[in-house]
Structure 1
């Protein structure tokens, strides 16, 4: 389905936009092409353009205020994709648009439609799926809903931006056909079917065999394909700090440099226009695009109102309807990976529950980086289970720490409950002193231009007997001491660009341990660290002070958890990743769970045969217990309604009807793309067309659970499928009767895969061609109709530069997952 690109019928015509641009001076036209701040564009009152505001938004609209504000926190995008439910994606898109209006944001920088090429990618959780069709359809539904409300969506990161290691400098190398059929596919769908209003050019370079250039200045990508072939009429914005050139970026399709006000355009672009290196028409086209976007979001107003303040609306993250929607979304996204003997849902009469795991007590609800928001509240599993099982005895046990680093120092261990920060100039002279209360995140912001370094000092008193751990973690050049003894020293200065990479922007802790016996131990912690000039993000320094008090130790905590499991009727073990594992800025090095969680699961399951394992992670982790415990759920990064959603799944109040949007490996050595590390600055897409589950099929490897897998709480039977007749350029419908043979209402995701005829061009062995979601009561039959668009049959012919459907007999497989085929038919494509 194609939707209108315009928000209103009175959108200015091209001629009207040209007339508005003609009213602007050349300097005004150039000025609006670089941000005014980190998140805003310059207004142009002469033509009625008020300030346009952008906001991060993959799992909620953060807004642009430096002061902490709360936002409705959605489940991670992979969780949404696990529902395979475009209607639910629309509901969440509508919610995001309301949140954007409440925060006066005109454009939400979301969704991410890059593919999950490798499970080790740091932003895996922020993407929808490893499959281009599923990614594209979920993104179309989400973007369409956001923009129907007059808020712009910005899809990112264009294109082949699928890992975080050296993310600002590597080049992605792949053929034009692979680029077209796989990595451009979800972008194309959102441009064509949702008419997205903004698109973000990525950090990486792209080598498609014809042109090799950074994504922000790749002519074939931005001008010839996106704007000319796809007729994209929106704004191409750079990823933050990604633009490195003046002429090349301006000539080859980039429209907007962010953040501002610094950057490679401005006066340099004016000079390039004056010299003829950049045509005036190129600049004018960019301005027209920004004015068109402004019209769509209501920012092109009467000139007298162009600089007026906009009253925000009330944020909705705490409202009952919002909480109910987010709770349902997280519950429905949950995937049942195993449920032997019908252990789930739990009986309402369950009397003793042992809730176990670090992620049970402190669930990991969102990944790190630009997706991060602060929710108005967090529903915890212990509280929610207490409400769901009011007569049950529920005990909670951590079972050992999983974080490598200590938490931030609490006020109780600091003299006066605060740290002292002194600003120093380049000669070491004192400029200013600040007292910052704990707990403190280590950031010192808003630093003046003459501040070259900061000195952080704190008096620490350790009273509790036992082993204490102190960590001092600075960014960049530094010197750290404890009681005058050198702990760490470095002369390596961090530059602005390096902040975009993990090694600079995420401090590494320097650790000392102290044994406290009878009396309190008093220490003096001192750290001096460089000031980093982060351009539009401001000048700052960072020194984290962390403290881990004595505790029983992991051995004792696991033993306690095992004892509790032995006494319980049911043990619910929540394992997972944490903020040190999944984040923008770095890729994972392995698929292991942190800490000793594997041992915890094994020992609890040995103590209680009625053990439910809940995996709280966005990206795949190895799950060696999977076929040894009776029940396993994949709970994703569930957002602010985490606890309530888990309670609904365990009680059956909401069916966990999720299906995996990616493949779950049984062994790390089986993964088709085993890492995300560039070699000599290049990531070679050697897997070609065989991304994700297609690669598993090509290599003949058996995963722990395949793409599309999910049991739900009911069984389904499938009848004989039937397919329509193939017609050039027209959708083809596949129908199949399905019946809920279970004992409760249920949802089923009916998936259709294609296999190519023999003798044609090389294709994946099997690829997803369509899907739909059906609902039925127990014992009820439903008819499933799945539409296959023409592109499902087509390949990109590099010689002719066109899409063609190779002739022959295509096998049409109707399935519950990529490897659970329930029926098949054929479709003939004539030559």
Structure 2
């Protein structure tokens, strides 16, 4: 098919039977929409993923491992630390080309959810804790992919920030936090780039599942932001199409089986499902098939995989963050930072990750790479075999170490000029489907660092991980490199950075706390029925900077191999009185080529509503040769100074003074200026103001003047919400519901039986090979599943109707009296 006019779509819609319309609103299988040859409608293929194309082989279903090889690019955590929209767009273009070569019409990505908490199991798949970075880089990703004729799927709308009980947990978020943080990255991407699809998340948002939330999908996404594409569910997130279709979820993925189609036809005949709602969804799906079904299914051009590998290596280096780089205490090279490695210096490469790297996330985005570069191979090639020694230090399969392995590591470190220790988070420590219980590295990795530093003070610690970790040994090592998850070319990129052939171009797009205990979310409830966003606006650096909490490394931090001077700054208010332009001269004053990131934060001097100490409102990445300079100009529009007013349900720019801070990180200010703005009601997308409402409490101490001692209590949060918190035990106390997670039933015999069954089915569905990392964490991942997911996990063997029957049986076997029933005497 080709793109059709609205009249052509309407004519095609009129040719379809009710059964064909119903079929089009759910997948024909795990990855495709139904084809209807009778009227010339082809199947539309969707596919993962955000950092590499995952197309399972024929017959492999939803397998995460039995897939066609594809370039594995750095994950979003690495791309996010690049702060480079142009680079992310290049990656998007490459992903689009590879998707098209595999006949994939819609690529599932990018993920622009925020990193609310550092223990989020899927944080590696998201860009940042800040919505400005997430929105701009997400838009660049969409722009790149869709420029190749392949559609994007912006995900996961909305407040999908935890993997614990993610399939049914109710995210309770106050209106300001929702608008100013959790919806902002989606809003920016939708309004700037018009993605082909938006993916509705699993979780509930303030009491309604996202796939059934008409306020979210119809009022905000379509009404306010003008989205006219297809809303597709996350895989298994739709339970009842008679509810989700009217709410605005057009396409339920994967297929739900013939029984579910027949159910929906009965709902249509009875009037429970309005024909207009069905026709509206099918109209959007036909438009999607017409726009994106053609190029991806017929134009399978050869892909230059070698060029894509080189791009992946460049992106990995651009996202590598040099966290620390100091001279070695009492070292021979006094005054010289340890990195880049001195020419001719012998190197001990220590840590199994150097030979068997952790280079991508675990879960649905898993890619079978076309090739993998390791740090050990690349560094040996760069320095010569005689200059490089290797010791594994720990066992890669079970994350353990031994006295013998540690002794070998110490001996290698002592006999070399510099020791490079590669540690991080194994796949079993962070994965889609389960959150981390802490921020610590494996004990074996911690012991290895301590052993190597004791043997050789000239130690570089390299981290391979998808989210922050605690660094108890930080003060004892002179250099730390955050490599994140660099994709298949990450080893080559890391070697180039260490020897100085490439610069460490990254800056942190998230805060590294000293410990998880210092993070506000660590003290908040997460389940069983709700997750309370008690911190409101104080996410990431917004919290740490407001309360003055020490951090290991601040948001925006990153060192360079060269030096930069920022001078001649100026700040001018726009002609509209509601915007501003900041300009400055950035010069490379060092001896190496390099890049720097200019960050602009705004501080509201006095506000009627509480606001964080400062918020990132602009940034620019500048690449310069030695001696070069560039004048940087960053425009701050009215939204940069506005807040969401819950009383008016609109954006408001309050008149007054604002400090504009130019910085290298949220804790490293270079210049600050002050301006006065006249103020205005920013309103919605059309500039209209909102509806007047009741005043919202603003004097709650926890929010007006947050402190780490006071924290954010349930009472404070209730006052902020303006209503009592929902119960955290389910719809009825003591009763299992469709949203009950298996982990909350494991104390019962029937719960243990279900857990065993679901683990077996899940491993079969994703095609995990013997001994795969997913097998080791399958029990924890399965424990998050709820009854709503049974049809998906069982490949529709357990239908929706059978699931409902099973739920009733489980409650009866557990001795639970259901509403409307009487217990037998």
TM-score range, shorter chain: 0.7 to 0.9
Q: Does 1:282 align with 2:255?
A: no
Q: Does 1:99 align with 2:90?
A: no
Q: Does 1:798 align with 2:784?
A: no
Give the alignment of 1:482-521 within 5 angstroms: none
Q: Does 1:326 align with 2:312?
A: yes
Tell me how far 1:195 sits from its aligned partner: 0.6
Q: 1:667 aligns with which of 495, 515, 523?
A: 515
Residue 713 of structure 1 corresponds to 561
Q: Matched residue of 1:292: which SS?
A: helix
Distance 1:608 1:16, change over 3 A: same
Residue 335 of structure 1 corresponds to 321
Mapped to 1, the partners of 2:228 and 2:259 lie a distance apart of: 24
CA contact (8 A) 1:103 1:315 kept: no
CA contact (8 A) 1:103 1:313 kept: no
Mapped to 2, the partners of 1:178 and 1:709 lie a distance apart of: 25
Q: 1:222 aligns with which of 217, 225, 237?
A: 217
Q: 1:572 aligns with which of 400, 417, 420?
A: 420
Give the alignment of 1:229-378 within 5 angstroms: 229-262=224-257, 265-299=260-294, 310=298, 312-314=300-302, 316=304, 319-341=305-327, 342-347=336-341, 349-378=343-372
Comparing 798-807 with 141-150, which one deviates more in the overlay?
798-807
CA contact (8 A) 1:728 1:790 kept: no
Residue 45 of structure 1 corresponds to 37
Q: Matched residue of 1:299: which SS?
A: helix
Residue 678 of structure 2 corresponds to 830
Give the alignment of 1:734-773 within 5 angstroms: 734-773=582-621
Q: Matched residue of 2:585: which SS?
A: strand
Q: Which has the higher helix share?
A: 2
Distance 1:370 1:315, change over 3 A: farther
Comparing 260-269 with 741-750, which one deviates more in the overlay?
260-269
Mapped to 2, the partners of 1:18 and 1:300 lie a distance apart of: 22
| Structure 1 moving runs of 4+ over 6 Å | none
Q: Does 1:86 align with 2:80?
A: no
CA contact (8 A) 2:25 2:250 kept: yes
Mapped to 2, the partners of 1:376 and 1:238 lie a distance apart of: 30
Q: Does 1:22 align with 2:14?
A: yes
Give the alignment of 1:516-555 within 5 angstroms: 554-555=402-403
Q: 1:395 aligns with which of 367, 370, 389?
A: 389
Tell me how far 1:310 sits from its aligned partner: 4.6
Q: Matched residue of 1:654: which SS?
A: coil
Comparing 712-721 with 762-771, which one deviates more in the overlay?
712-721
Mapped to 2, the partners of 1:250 and 1:708 lie a distance apart of: 42
Q: Matched residue of 1:83: which SS?
A: coil
Mapped to 1, the partners of 2:426 and 2:362 lie a distance apart of: 9
CA contact (8 A) 2:9 2:287 kept: yes
Mapped to 2, the partners of 1:694 and 1:264 lie a distance apart of: 49
Distance 1:344 1:234, change over 3 A: farther
Mapped to 2, the partners of 1:310 and 1:12 lie a distance apart of: 17
CA contact (8 A) 2:340 2:561 kept: no
Tell me how far 1:581 sits from its aligned partner: 0.9
Residue 199 of structure 2 corresponds to 200
Q: Matched residue of 1:750: which SS?
A: strand
Give the alignment of 1:561-640 within 5 angstroms: 561-640=409-488
Tell me how far 1:728 sits from its aligned partner: 4.7
CA contact (8 A) 2:601 2:663 kept: yes
Mapped to 1, the partners of 2:632 and 2:269 lie a distance apart of: 61
Comparing 730-739 with 240-249, which one deviates more in the overlay?
730-739
Give aligned pairs, total: 664
Tell me how far 1:44 sits from its aligned partner: 2.5
Mapped to 1, the partners of 2:371 and 2:505 lie a distance apart of: 26
CA contact (8 A) 2:578 2:677 kept: no
Give the alignment of 1:152-171 within 5 angstroms: 152-171=151-170
Mapped to 1, the partners of 2:403 and 2:466 lie a distance apart of: 28
Alpha-carbon deviations, 1:28-73, whole Å to 9, x = none? 1111111100000001334432110000112101014224321100
Give the alignment of 1:650-729 within 5 angstroms: 650-674=498-522, 678-728=526-576
CA contact (8 A) 1:402 1:596 kept: no
Tell me how far 1:785 sits from its aligned partner: 1.4
Q: 1:381 aligns with which of 365, 375, 393?
A: 375
Tell me how far 1:261 sits from its aligned partner: 4.3
Mapped to 2, the partners of 1:801 and 1:17 lie a distance apart of: 36
CA contact (8 A) 1:73 1:375 kept: yes
CA contact (8 A) 2:77 2:484 kept: yes
Q: Matched residue of 1:125: which SS?
A: helix
Tell me how far 1:91 sits from its aligned partner: 0.4
Tell me how far 1:130 sits from its aligned partner: 0.6
Distance 1:104 1:344, change over 3 A: farther
Tell me how far 1:311 sits from its aligned partner: 7.2
Tell me how far 1:19 sits from its aligned partner: 2.1
Q: Matched residue of 1:796: which SS?
A: strand
Mapped to 2, the partners of 1:819 and 1:656 lie a distance apart of: 20
Q: Matched residue of 2:132: which SS?
A: helix
Q: Matched residue of 2:171: which SS?
A: strand
Comparing 778-787 with 119-128, which one deviates more in the overlay?
778-787
CA contact (8 A) 1:243 1:264 kept: no
Tell me how far 1:741 sits from its aligned partner: 2.1
Tell me how far 1:561 sits from its aligned partner: 0.6
CA contact (8 A) 1:403 1:580 kept: no
Residue 644 of structure 1 corresponds to 492
Tell me how far 1:18 sits from its aligned partner: 1.7
Distance 1:89 1:326, change over 3 A: same
Mapped to 2, the partners of 1:561 and 1:370 lie a distance apart of: 35
Mapped to 1, the partners of 2:648 and 2:260 lie a distance apart of: 37
Alpha-carbon deviations, 1:411-466, whole Å to 9, x = none? xxxxxxxxxxxxxxxxxxxxxxxxxxxxxxxxxxxxxxxxxxxxxxxxxxxxxxxx
CA RMSD of aligned residues (A): 2.1
Tell me how far 1:828 sits from its aligned partner: 1.8
Mapped to 1, the partners of 2:130 and 2:259 lie a distance apart of: 36
Q: Matched residue of 2:419: which SS?
A: strand
Mapped to 2, the partners of 1:769 and 1:142 lie a distance apart of: 20
Residue 145 of structure 2 corresponds to 146
Q: Matched residue of 1:256: which SS?
A: coil
CA contact (8 A) 1:657 1:713 kept: no
Mapped to 2, the partners of 1:704 and 1:300 lie a distance apart of: 48
Mapped to 2, the partners of 1:177 and 1:576 lie a distance apart of: 36
Mapped to 1, the partners of 2:8 and 2:579 lie a distance apart of: 37
CA contact (8 A) 1:24 1:46 kept: no
Mapped to 2, the partners of 1:682 and 1:263 lie a distance apart of: 33
| Structure 1 length-normalised TM | 0.77
CA contact (8 A) 2:124 2:467 kept: yes
Mapped to 1, the partners of 2:519 and 2:341 lie a distance apart of: 38
Mapped to 2, the partners of 1:145 and 1:756 lie a distance apart of: 35
Mapped to 2, the partners of 1:751 and 1:589 lie a distance apart of: 32
Mapped to 2, the partners of 1:728 and 1:34 lie a distance apart of: 48
CA contact (8 A) 2:399 2:444 kept: no
Tell me how far 1:392 sits from its aligned partner: 4.2
Residue 184 of structure 1 corresponds to 183
Tell me how far 1:366 sits from its aligned partner: 0.9
